[in-house]
Chains A and B, each alone.
Chain A
């Protein structure tokens, strides 16, 4: 079972920042937070991951609270092509356990 809780859906205006929340209150010290997205019927796409520090790459920023019980994925300037289902996943850093996908958040970017 997924260890994260995400809102089922969100809307965002094109050009605005999309802030996608995720609760992972039972996260343990050896678990990373990963974000993936799946654009309609395509394979999931890796976005970003982090342990406890905030992370930024060319796609997004990841803000993790100090207690690590929640995080927010930020798409700074959402476009129509960012419409997708976004998955927040926690996984231990041993690499031996596979990614477990929950239901995710369906983000709709509106023109």
Chain B
């Protein structure tokens, strides 16, 4: 079992470009969570998805950010028209489905906006 796979590990974008971050959950896991960690700060919840549905997006910025978890394929976090303040580490986590299950996190994508 390969664990939660995130790619790319590092992503550099110029201001105004789009960033696409991918997350493949562990096999059999149908719940995906995205977190953002700004430099020297804690992890902030962004969005919780369950196959094809957004369950909780209370932590997502209202503009430029979107997330999806299609029936087939990885979950995608999309950031349009990136700004320097979007530079951060973005972590994805998955869990199998049992409500008490712990999350398994990926290694993250480090986005740098230049």
Contact = CB atoms under 8 A, between A and B. Distances in A.
B101 to A, nearest CB: 8
Contacts of A44: 43, 91, 93, 103, 105
Interface of A: 32, 34, 36, 38, 41-46, 49, 93-104
Given A100-B45, A101-B43, A46 B103 contact: yes
Interface of B: 4, 31, 33, 35, 42-45, 48, 55-56, 59, 89, 91, 93, 95, 98-108
A98 B45 CA distance: 7
Contacts of B35: 101
Given A44-B43, A44-B105, A98 B100 contact: no
A98 B33 contact: yes
A106 to B, nearest CB: 11
A91 to B, nearest CB: 9
Nearest to B6: A43
Given A95-B99, A95-B100, A43 B45 contact: no
A46 B104 contact: yes
A95 B48 CA distance: 11
Contact of B107 (A42, A99, A101): A42
B102 A46 contact: yes
Q: Which residue, of B42, B59, B91, has the highest number of chain A Cβ atoms within 10 A? A: B42
24 contacts: A34-B102, A41-B89, A43-B91, A43-B93, A43-B105, A43-B108, A44-B43, A44-B91, A44-B93, A46-B102, A46-B105, A93-B99, A95-B31, A95-B99, A95-B101, A96-B56, A96-B99, A97-B56, A98-B33, A98-B48, A98-B56, A101-B42, A101-B43, A101-B44
Nearest to B104: A46
